[in-house]
Amino acid sequence: MRKAIYIFFAGAAAIVAPFRSEAQQSPVETKKANSEYKPAFNGQTRIGSVSTKSAYEGKVITSALERPWGITSLPDGRFLVTEKGGTMRIVSTTGTVGKAISGVPKVNSDGQGGLLGLCIDPDFPKNRMVYWAFSEPLSEGNITSVAKGKLSADEARLENVTVIYRATPAYKGNLHYGGRVIFSKDGNLFLSTGERSDLVTRPQAQDINSGLGKIIRITRDGKPAAGNPFAGKPNARPELYSYGHRNVQGIAINPVTGELWETEFGPRGGDELNRIVPGKNYGWPTITYGIEYSGDKIGAAIQQKEGLEQPVYYWDPVISPSGITFYSGKQIPEWKNNLFISSLSGMHVCRLVIEGNKVTGEERLLSGENQRFRDITEGKDGALYAVTDQGRLYRIGKK
């Protein structure tokens, strides 16, 4: 077993929020936007900032992880964590990092690939089932796949591992896999996929007979879930839930409405937060608030079109939103039902206050840590726990 590392920073990592009014202040973003595109409605971007009034802190409880990608809570309060290179481990709340759990299928960890998001079965105490997404290498290319397996009683291995779903077609590239997987309240699985980035695959986000650039809804066995919006329609995949996505690395269930929300990467500008309505088209690459990395415009350079959904919120410049979670704990009451977003290039945890499906305030937590935050989850103790590309696990909660 790895040696546990306990780090309690007195400076930047331990943060006590100043006591301020929750009233909006100036937007947190002060940098110039990449484009001159205008939002479709007031408050769609650069909303006024808010500040947490309660005293909270961020503590590093271990730095011993290797490129962690996904984190989820176990019933006893510990965490199950995936590492990009292909390992899965259990981590205690005090920072003890367990040995690699065997049985994980081979992953292609080149580029943005690897062992990606994970979740446990709602009946985990009885069946010990784990589900995870990964970039699977096939002869025809790489693919976003979902597997499941039973965690052994001694927690050393995954048993009876089966790949239950593959988001075809495969592609010989190593970008934009999406890769989050969570359970819905009805016991089905949501999977997010990317459109694999390249110009040749980008149009597949608009193709309802492709698994790329989609939100997928499947059963525990990988079959299309009953009631999906495209079931029975010609030239459409019955597992699709929504389409027109670029690269979705954040999905979460709103605890108030039960609806699915997602975050996805834009190119230069145009990161999005979307409330997912089944069957709807979220526009990529037809509409976007971003531009190409080269500075060129994308397609017809339009941001609105009839029949295509607008993001609830967008960022320009980007924050690179990865894993997300809604807060339902009791440690910080004012965070109740707020959305927390782990930000990669933004190097902070983004807090969004959402009221009536509109963003009404934004705050940046742990912005002085200089960490690429990859995923975030709520612990059994009511604190938030976030992992970073640099190998840290943070506890964010009551001081």
Strand order in the sheet with 129-138: 115-120, 129-138, 141-151, 158-166
Q: 306: Cβ–Cβ under 8 A, 6 or more apart, which residues?
A: none
The H or E element containing residue 299 is none
> Which residue in the list 78, 176, 237, 280 is annotated as catalytic?
176
Segment 137-172, tens digit of pLDDT: 999 999 999 999 999 999 999 999 999 999 999 999
Single pTM value for the model = 0.94
Is residue 176 among the annotated active site residues? yes
Going 45 to 50 to 54 to 56, the CA torsion angle's sign is positive
The three-class DSSP label of residue 351 is: strand
CATH number of 25-398: 2.120.10.30
Strands 384-388 and 373-378: antiparallel
d(C-alpha 342, C-alpha 388), whole Å:
9
- Rg (C-alpha) for the chain, rounded Å, is 20
- In total, the chain counts a number of residues equal to 399
pLDDT of residue 22: 55
pLDDT, position 310: 98
Cβ neighbour number for residue 310 with a 10 Å cutoff: 19
Instruction: Say how far apart CA 288 and CA 272 lie, in whole Å.
Output: 9
Q: What is the pLDDT of residue 11?
A: 35
Burial class (CB in 10 A: 0-12, 13-18, 19+), 100: middle
For the segment 225-268, what is each residue's pLDDT rounded down to a tens digit?
Answer: 999 999 999 999 999 999 999 999 999 999 999 999 999 999 99
Rounded to 5 degrees, φ, ψ at 78 are: -75, 180
Please tell me whether residue 274 adopts helix, strand or coil conformation.
strand
Nearest to 279 by CA among 228, 211, 223, 217: 228
> Cα–Cα distance between 50 and 359 in angstroms, integer?
11
Burial of 170 (0-12, 13-18, 19+ CB in 10 A): buried
pLDDT in the model for residue 24 = 72
Question: What pLDDT sits at residue 13?
Answer: 38
Give pLDDT < 50 ranges for the chain.
Answer: 1-21
